[in-house]
Structure 1
């Protein structure tokens, strides 16, 4: 006796084919979702990295724009040039140090940038002369390589110590290589935003922009 067509079910082969098609669609959906999650994670990481690079560039540009001709003394009292740099570090004195709390301090600040342990660090000093440096802060992490060059009178140099006839270079070039091998080249003007320094009165103590005070033999 034959079974009416309306009462016939699916055969085992048909069920297996349907399950296989459903499995393929589900696998494709899972793969697409996983790809979207990874892409979002990579995009977020990349945007964070670009933001960190932009913040580092803005910080260094602001410091260099306020660089001034103000020699400083180290902890031993040794007089150093106003701007000193080599291929992986640079130290200088900048003006315009904000004093929101009206503390009894100068508006000048000695700062330094250097490559240390895979990061670009910024170091600051609480006083220009004779003070120990504050703990370094990371301006940019995941840095594999750093090269600094200094421009004066149309020529580039890998070192700067003020012996080129000028206390400050006209510009600083930074070539910064990240851990992924990508190199960024940035050009910064030096001293472009520094206000003119008034002459210090004779015999006055060092103040903003004044020359450093003499150091006695006991301080050396």
Structure 2
């Protein structure tokens, strides 16, 4: 028809509406590969953290064990220092009445007497009918250094032994006489004679080898 202006809108657009707009970016989120990579990294970090924590706990346990062994060695050394410093030239008698020297010193072999002495200064807080002298014996029983005390110097049965040091692998003792010489055993002709000093070398395994020197009879 004449005078009628044609529409500027194409037929396709008129029939189906305006064209869709292009999306410049994709939808936000993670792909499966990205999730797997993230989980792998998280797993590695977690494993490293657990390993570090385990190492720290083990290191703390080892440190506590070493410190405990060191404290035990110090307690044993303090007890030996006290006993040996208070040693006196007093001959004692066993349960059968046989005389024993004032000081007995072995090499530290398992089962035998490592040290035997009579010491002064045994406190009597309960006022028992006994003297202030006390007979003491040290023995190596297996891996334990044990101290046995007696209620009386003469004729008394031993009391229950007490472990003063555990985990002992080896023990050796030496004794210094008045001339300054070292002996592997203490067996002088005079049963009242005391050594001047005692050397004890003890192997406590992971704690290492410990050497200690004790003066004898200096607590008068």
Question: Normalized against structure 2, the TM-score is what?
Answer: 0.83
1:94 to 114, 119, 138: 119
Question: What does residue 65 of structure 1 align with?
Answer: 85
* Structure 1 position 53 matched with structure 2 position 73: yes
Check the 8 A contact 2:92/2:101 in 1, yes or no: yes
The structure with the larger Rg is 2
- Partners of 2:139 and 2:24 in 1: CA distance: 87
2:198 to 157, 172, 186: 172
Within a 5 Å distance, the mapping from 1:182-197 to structure 2 comes to 182-193=208-219, 195=220
In the alignment of these two chains, the number of paired residues is: 194
Deviation of 1:7 after TM superposition, in Å, equals: 2.0
- Partners of 1:166 and 1:77 in 2: CA distance: 17
Deviation of 1:12 after TM superposition, in Å, equals: 1.6
- Partners of 1:102 and 1:6 in 2: CA distance: 96
* Structure 1 position 17 matched with structure 2 position 32: no
Check the 8 A contact 1:68/1:94 in 2, yes or no: yes
- Structure 1 residue matching 2:65: 3-state secondary structure: helix
Check the 8 A contact 1:69/1:167 in 2, yes or no: yes
- Partners of 1:147 and 1:9 in 2: CA distance: 75
Deviation of 1:4 after TM superposition, in Å, equals: 4.6
Two-structure CA RMSD over aligned residues (Å)? 1.7
- Structure 1 residue matching 2:206: 3-state secondary structure: coil
Within a 5 Å distance, the mapping from 1:1-220 to structure 2 comes to 4-5=24-25, 7-88=27-108, 89-152=114-177, 153-163=179-189, 167-180=193-206, 182-193=208-219, 195=220
Runs in 1 of length 4+ with deviation above 3 angstroms? 1-4
Question: Normalized against structure 1, the TM-score is what?
Answer: 0.83
- Structure 1: gaps (5+ residues): 196-220
Check the 8 A contact 1:121/1:139 in 2, yes or no: yes
- Partners of 2:197 and 2:207 in 1: CA distance: 25
Check the 8 A contact 1:109/1:125 in 2, yes or no: yes
If asked which structure has higher relative contact order (CA below 8 Å, sep 6+), I would say 1
What do the CA deviations read for 1:24-58 (whole angstroms, capped 9, x no partner)?
11111111111111111111111111111100000
